Amino acid sequence: MKQIIITVIMLAIALILIIGVIVPIFEHAGNAGYTAVFRGGTVISRISQILR
């Protein structure tokens, strides 16, 4: 019975870590990727204007 309680507590801690740490990292990565694509599009349009 004691092992079951310890296992449940460890699973709860793992879930808290996933929600608190890993999910925000993926959200930040998604936002950073969007920003990079947006800036890349801006740079490409500027380069095409310069080349004209």
pTM over the 0.75 mark: no
Q: What pLDDT tens digit does each residue of the chain (52 aa) get?
A: 889 898 999 999 888 888 887 777 887 777 887 887 777 777 778 877 887 7
Locate 19 and state its tokens. Answer: 């929600």
